[in-house]
Amino acid sequence: MKKIDGKQIAKDLVSELTQEVEALSGDKPCIAFIRVGDDPASVSYVKSKNETAAKIGITPLLFALNESISQEELFAKVDELNADPKVNGILVQSPLPKHLDEQATFNRIDPLKDVDGFHETNAGRLVQEDARGFVSCTPAGIVEICKREGIKMEGKHVVVLGRSLIVGKTFALLAMQKGEYANATVTVCHSRTKNLAEITRQADILVAAIGRPEMVTKDMVSEGTVVIDVGINRVEDPSRKRGYRIVGDVKFDEVSPLASHITPVPGGVGPMTVALLMSNTVKAYKLQQA
């Protein structure tokens, strides 16, 4: 069993991007973050993205907007950044306050600056296997892990647990497309699936992205499976100072002895997300130069 060190892989990618950005002549890539309100998780996510960008040499711009901003005002800010040739990537931090339409806001971003890959055009480009598209960062991070760990998907049975737009469905589309780190037979399971364990036991590569703490147990996994755990769940834990601990969708202790490779939580897929956002920003910069 190999425990995949997502933190190290992300670090490697960040360091490669740093060299790539250093070598660029002229203006450096620039990413604009829009945060609406002061939700503590959002503040912390944007801060971490901002720091990673700065470290790489990508210019970060932060726009912290008032919680009560109207949809029109938010659109106006997006339009302004769309029109600004110095801005290569735009990220609107989710979740937005309830009075704002999140998908409409993502769709307002210029698809060529949509480094989060949430614009409908980029979802379409993924389906159509159009290389100009941006793929959302968590699923793209899983593919990157596979590449760097030499885990080929070709002809393998990839079972995806969860059909969310930002992970399950998008990863399924990546795995089934043509290409060296794709060409998989793909099964998408979810809350309505019957005989779930029977299906997951067939997986060569099992991606758990269903958001249920430790639901993947050893009876659901065959020996030699690559297990990718995308879950980030809080469970109460009075023994911890903060009163909870973070667990994945996989019961790590009992599943890991069966796995050929497994990503831990935390420290597996999580750190890849920010790294891929930066990779998308550099891609956006290049597409916009071309």
- Bond before 266 cis per omega within 30 degrees: yes
What one-character-per-residue DSSP string does 14-67 give? HHHHHHHHHT--SSPPEEEEEEES--HHHHHHHHHHHHHHHHHTPEEEEEEE-T
Stretch of residues binding a second copy (CB under 8 A), selected from 125-133, 211-219, 231-239, 249-257: 125-133
By the 10 Å C-beta count (0-12 exposed, 13-18 middle, 19+ buried), 289 is classed as exposed
> Least distance to a second copy from the beta carbon of 21, Å?
29
Stretch of residues binding a second copy (CB under 8 A), selected from 37-45, 86-94, 189-197, 222-230: 189-197
Dihedral angle sign, alpha carbons of residues 164, 168, 170, 176: negative
CB atoms within 10 A of CB 57: 18
Site for a second copy in 194-213 (CB under 8 A): 194, 199
Stretch of residues binding a second copy (CB under 8 A), selected from 44-52, 176-184, 267-275, 282-290: 176-184
> Least distance to a second copy from the beta carbon of 110, Å?
14
Site for a second copy in 101-120 (CB under 8 A): 103, 119-120
Give CA–CA dist 170/175, Å, rounded: 9
3-state helix, strand, coil in the chain (%, to 5): 40, 15, 40
Q: Does 189 bind a second copy (CB under 8 A)?
A: yes
Which residues are designated catalytic? Answer: 49, 93, 116
Q: Does 154 bind a second copy (CB under 8 A)?
A: yes
Q: Does 164 bind a second copy (CB under 8 A)?
A: no
The 41-60 contact track toward a second copy, x by CB under 8 A, reads --------------------
Give CA–CA dist 158/205, Å, rounded: 5
Q: Which of 26, 72, 131, 192 binds a second copy (CB under 8 A)?
A: 192
Question: Which residues bind to a second copy, rule: CB under 8 A?
Answer: 103, 119-128, 130, 154-155, 157, 163, 165, 169-170, 172-173, 176-177, 183-190, 192-194, 199
